[in-house]
Structure 1
Amino acid sequence: MRVTQAEFIISAVGPDQYPADGLPEIALAGRSNVGKSSLINKMIQRKNLARTSSQPGKTQTLNYYRINGELYFVDLPGYGYAKVSKSQREQWGKFIESYLLKRELLRALLLLIDIRHPPTRDDVAMYDWLSHYGIPVCIVATKADKVPRGKWQKHVKVIRETLFVRGGDPIVVFSSETGQGKDELWSLILERAGKSALAGEAAPEAASEAD
């Protein structure tokens, strides 16, 4: 998809702050430092719209980004950061759970996994929870540029088997450095958002190097 407009809208801490314009929402979840902000920036071909934090686990809000006036990316707080207190983790968990279960405009969740490492217990727990509640999931294996191309499928197999991927949930190999997987991911996002007619407008893979 050719992104002509992307803007940060709000850091929401509750339903009363969620946008009320009725656009479909695609959420992003994953461990701290898995590359959610970098993925957003690459997908919209902007360098710093989604800002990475120098302190993992610091983000405590749902960050809304409106794309082309057509849909939202919703960046959820990262999980699994050891220095976050147990009480704070529980608070975030309830906050995220409420959004995922009650937000009618949520169309799918992108679960980001670092391709270099097997999914953690937190990753497995998140995927199991999403599957239990029937929330559509697309698994994104990030940081593919850190692994030789010839070993991608080996690492994807580890992710698939560790998560016990079911229901045909797709796994997209992605790199925010090279743009690998960008067009494939856009096609999946637009399909889940009910905007599959726009999928054919995705720019060629090479265009992802433009930024």
Structure 2
Amino acid sequence: MITVNDLQAHPLDQVHRLIEPGPVILITTQHRGVPNVMTNGFNMMVRHAPPLIAATVGPWDYSYQALVETGECVVSVPTADMADTVVDIGNCSGADVDKFHAFGLTAVAGEKVQAPLVGECWANLECKVADTSLVGAYNLFLLEPVRAWTDPSRSRPRLFHHRGDGTFSVDGDVLDLKDRMTKWQYLL
């Protein structure tokens, strides 16, 4: 029998490395006519229908003010082949750099929000800020996708996930367990 004495304590300030959030995403905003894109590694799905996403964006992020003032953004989902660019986007500020130009990204106009989609990303979710009640305490925005787009030329996109220490994991094999999802068939 295993007891707690057989286990190793893990530092609480590194728990995020044990349960990583969703894939690394890009969040775009448009503020006073100027588009910006930021890298975000702390995000998660909150519910599936209607969809709701939580993302940490704080006052240290140039996009924070735009998100607060406009109440909208685009969540763009890059693939693993974009990892170097996505990390580089996160290493500079939109206050100093036109990131769309500097990184050769294509700003695509959406239908429901002013913030641009990122043409190079596999998926783009036009979002409205649904709830800011957790922003003051946790810098956590709840975002509701109001329009979603995917690139049909990418049948099996490989997403990547931040492990919290400068390393990333990349999606690999897919386990198809649909036949075992007996309680949740309506979601398939």
Answer 1 or 2: which has greater strand percent.
Answer: 2
> Above 0.5 in TM-score?
no
Q: Which structure: larger Rg?
A: 2
| TM superposition score normalised by structure 1 | 0.28
Structure with more of its chain in helix, by fraction:
1
